[in-house]
Chain A
Amino acid sequence: MVAPVAPQDAAWAIASALPDPEIPALTIAELGILRGVEMINGVMTVTITPTYSGCPATEMIKADIETALRDAGFSAIAVRLTHSPAWTTDTLSAATLEKLRAEGIAPPRRGQPPHCPQCGSAQVEQIAHFGSTPCKSLWRCMACREPFDHFKCH
Chain B
Amino acid sequence: MLRWVLAYADDALILGHRLSEWCSRAPSMEEDMALANLGLDLLGQARFLYSHAATLENAAQPERQRTEDDYAYRRDAPQFRNALLVEQPNGDFAVTMVRHLLYASFADLYWRASVTVNDPAIAAFAARSEKETAYHVRHATDWVIRLGDGTDESHRRAQEALEMLLPFADELFESAPDQAPLIAADAVVDPAGLRETYRRRIEQVCAQATLRLTWPSWHQTGGRHGRHGEHLGHLLAELQFLPRAYPGASW
Is there an interface contact between B30 and A128, defined as CB atoms closer than 8 Å?
yes
Is there an interface contact between B33 and A131, defined as CB atoms closer than 8 Å?
yes
Is there an interface contact between A134 and B128, defined as CB atoms closer than 8 Å?
no
Is there an interface contact between B132 and A52, defined as CB atoms closer than 8 Å?
yes
Confirm or deny: A12 has a beta carbon within 8 angstroms of a beta carbon on chain B: no
Q: Which residues of B contact A86 (CB under 8 A)?
A: 124, 127-128, 131
Q: Which of A3-11, A53-61, A116-124 contacts B (4 or more CB under 8 A)?
A: A53-61
Is there an interface contact between A54 and B120, defined as CB atoms closer than 8 Å?
no
State how many residues of chain A have any CB contact under 8 Å with chain B: 23
Q: Which residues of A contact B123 (CB under 8 A)?
A: 84
Bound form: Cα–Cα A141–B38 in Å: 26
Q: Which residues of A contact B120 (CB under 8 A)?
A: 84
Known: A83-B125, A86-B131, A129-B139. A55 touches B44 (CB 8 A): yes
Confirm or deny: B90 has a beta carbon within 8 angstroms of a beta carbon on chain A: no
Is there an interface contact between B44 and A54, defined as CB atoms closer than 8 Å?
yes
Is there an interface contact between A130 and B33, defined as CB atoms closer than 8 Å?
yes
Name the residue of chain B whose CB is nearest to the CB of A49: B128
Is there an interface contact between B41 and A54, defined as CB atoms closer than 8 Å?
yes
Known: A83-B125, A84-B127, A86-B127. A129 touches B34 (CB 8 A): yes
Is there an interface contact between B37 and A134, defined as CB atoms closer than 8 Å?
yes
8 A Cβ contacts from B15-68 to A: 16, 30-31, 33-34, 37-45, 47-48
Q: Which residues of B contact A85 (CB under 8 A)?
A: 124, 127
Q: Which residues of A contact B43 (CB under 8 A)?
A: 53-54
> How near does chain A come to B110, taking the closest CB pair, in angstroms?
15
Summarize A's interface: helix, strand, loop or mixed: loop
Q: Which residues of A contact B241 (CB under 8 A)?
A: none
Name the residue of chain A whose CB is nearest to the CB of B139: A129
Bound form: Cα–Cα A85–B115 in Å: 11
Bound form: Cα–Cα A50–B129 in Å: 12
8 A Cβ contacts from A65-100 to B: 82-88
> How near does chain A come to B123, taking the closest CB pair, in angstroms?
8
Confirm or deny: A106 has a beta carbon within 8 angstroms of a beta carbon on chain B: no
Confirm or deny: A13 has a beta carbon within 8 angstroms of a beta carbon on chain B: no
Q: Which residues of A contact B124 (CB under 8 A)?
A: 82-86
The 6 closest A-B pairs by CB, nearest first: A53-B44, A54-B40, A54-B44, A84-B124, A128-B30, A86-B128
Task: Supply 21 A–B pairs (Cβ within 8 Å), ascending by A.
Answer: A52-B44, A53-B40, A53-B43, A53-B45, A53-B47, A53-B132, A54-B16, A54-B39, A54-B42, A55-B40, A55-B44, A56-B40, A83-B48, A83-B128, A84-B124, A85-B127, A86-B124, A86-B131, A130-B38, A134-B37, A134-B40
What residues make up the interface of A, taking CB atoms closer than 8 Å to B?
A: 50, 52-56, 82-88, 127-132, 134, 138, 152, 154
